[in-house]
Structure 1
Amino acid sequence: MNNLVITVDHQQKKQIKAQYANYQLPNNNPYVEAFFKVEGVSITLYQSGKLMFQGEKAGSLAQNWGYQDEQSPQQPIQSQQVPMIGTDEVGNGSYFGGLAVVASFVTPKDHAFLKSLGVDDSKRLTDQKICQIAPVLKENITHQALLLTPKKYNEVIDKGYNAVSVKVALHNQAIFLLLQKGVQPQKIVIDAFTSSKNYNRYLAQESNHFPNPITLEEKAEGKYLAVAVSSIIARAMFLENLAQLSQEIGYYLPSGAGKPSDQVARDILAQYGMTGLEQTAKLHFANTQKAHALLSNRK
């Protein structure tokens, strides 16, 4: 569905305008309170409280603000009654910032505690909520967290990895290290980012292996508490890394890969050259070429 409309309250209006501040564009409609362009989706916030999403990814963004697709409803988190490991990654779609991958071990006795915290798919939680509960999860749930900084990410890509194979390596390593801590899962679920055939092909190139079978499942972060925990911890790690890099470089680094990222990349190029981007961004993204073009046009 490419055109969705929901109703938001005053507090949500404030959150929307804060979250999408860097994506705001001018709009002359007197009934429009704010207009944004995010990941190719036009988002129009009306004075009346109506919020309209237009674009290919309209449904995905609208779900962040309460929209539920009646055609394919969000599958509730399952109260799986087996000890399991779940993994997820955050940062793959963002030009700036690193790539965080987390594997978490959750048993049935953890379910009540996790639900009391409001553990859910991180895409349906605000960043503020994620940053509140992530430290509690890290303290109470056995997990393994890995963060590939932009500098290291670029080095790995230069060595022949690609956007998929680097994730295979990180997910596999996180699970391997978590198993080394002595946990005994009956099931291992990875939030699917590629096919099983591709995963196994890239996995063959890695040195660390384990005998446990794995399952790659789409939208697993919304089905399994173990994956949801990993999703939340990974998101908090990514945000922390993005904030740290912003402080070091002296520019606010936006999440995502839209026009705001192009413009910030241009300014970093102008001040620091490619060295600045190597430290803060995933260079193989198209944003790098766009930033060079923007800088050339400005001269």
Structure 2
Amino acid sequence: MNTLVFQLSKTAIQNLVEQLSAYQTSNNNPYVTFAAKHKNATFLAYTSGKVVIQGKGAQDLANNLKLEANPPKSTSSQNALKTDHNRSMIGTDEVGNGSYFGGLAVVASFVKPEDHNFLKSLGVDDSKKMTDQKIQAIAPLLEEKIPHQALLLSPQKYNQVVGKGLKHNAVSVKVALHNQAIFLLLQKGVQADNIVIDAFTSPRNYQKYVSKENNQVTQAITLEEKAEGNYLAVAVSSIIARAMFLENLKTLGEDVGFQLPSGASAKSDKVASQLLAAYGMESLAYTAKLHFANTQKAQALLKK
């Protein structure tokens, strides 16, 4: 069996996910954010940014997706969190985009040079490298100390605005939330030397969608790949957003009497089918993002 491995940016993976959305399959690995089968090959995207393509048609699928093999980067070459001691920054990040259950959390945080020692003392890092327990422990300290703007789009509201024939798609809704979080934080009077968004789409796409928003941020904005691992301001936002997403997931689960899993694996399909059996489609509209393929998979499970 042929196996190809790629290390890709979040934006590149998101583009591949959009291309393969019609071929999505379930996967029980908690570190797999998306799985698909196409052209006699299995496509797996991991939380680490690694993409694995396996099967007889692996090379054909890679060629179709215009992927070229590249050697993995040495861990010693990875950038540490950047701390420009002379500049203040607004950084934004989102959590929940790849999870079927739960809302979409977006946070913008304002970090000044004098905050750096405090943040380092807490062990602030990219939230993907931290346990949920640590995230939930330090998030309240960050919320108290660091000026920020947090937005949570509940699944119920998400389903009203995202989907075929509705106002937003999965990318434009994130653009709207990032833009609004930055706008509201600036309205509070903070003055940042730089504004950085952890890139989830191309700058061209971002500009296309943000131009349609009522509230416009006039200051220059940079979209940077893997910014949550490079900048303290983005790392703070990723931690606060992750804590908010986990709290929302817990609350929604308590409301319907089920433990709702994070991610979009076969476990989500199973819980969704149980919710359908117990309460019908309204329960999924309240707890989950309906345009995910998990909805159809849950309905199929229910018919078995």
* Same fold per superposition (TM over 0.5): yes
Aligned to 2:238: 231
Aligned to 1:76: 80
Q: Does 1:108 align with 2:101?
A: no
The separation in 2 between residues aligned to 1:231 and 1:58, in whole angstroms, is 18
- Equivalent of 1:95, from 94, 100, 103? 100
Aligned to 1:253: 260
**Structure 2 length-normalised TM:** 0.78
The separation in 2 between residues aligned to 1:154 and 1:169, in whole angstroms, is 15
State the Cα distance separating 1:268 from its structure 2 match. 0.4
Hey, which bits of structure 1, 4+ residues long, moved more than 2 A? 36-42, 54-59, 71-74
Aligned to 2:272: 265
Q: What RMSD in Å do the two structures reach over aligned CA positions?
A: 2.3
- Equivalent of 1:131, from 116, 126, 136? 136
State the Cα distance separating 1:286 from its structure 2 match. 0.3
State the Cα distance separating 1:109 from its structure 2 match. 0.4
Instruction: Note the residue ranges of structure 1 that are not aligned, 5 or more in a row.
Output: 4-22, 25-35, 43-53, 63-67
Aligned to 1:189: 196
Q: Does 1:143 align with 2:148?
A: yes
For 1:141-220, what aligned pairs fall within 5 Å after superposition?
141-158=146-163, 159-220=166-227
Q: Does 1:121 align with 2:126?
A: yes
The separation in 1 between residues aligned to 2:192 and 2:156, in whole angstroms, is 34
The one-letter code matched in structure 2 to 1:214 is I
Q: Helix, strand or coil: the match of 1:104?
A: strand
Aligned to 2:66: none
The separation in 2 between residues aligned to 1:86 and 1:41, in whole angstroms, is 26
**Structure 1 length-normalised TM:** 0.79
Q: Is the 8 A contact 2:30 2:263 kept in 1?
A: no
Identify which range, 286-295 or 70-79, moves more after superposition: 70-79
CA 57–177 in structure 1, closer or farther in 2 if over 3 Å, else same? same
The separation in 1 between residues aligned to 2:115 and 2:197, in whole angstroms, is 19
Instruction: Note the residue ranges of structure 2 that are not aligned, 5 or more in a row.
Output: 7-26, 36-41, 51-71
Q: Is the 8 A contact 1:38 1:258 kept in 2?
A: no
State the Cα distance separating 1:157 from its structure 2 match. 1.3
Q: Is the 8 A contact 2:32 2:46 kept in 1?
A: no
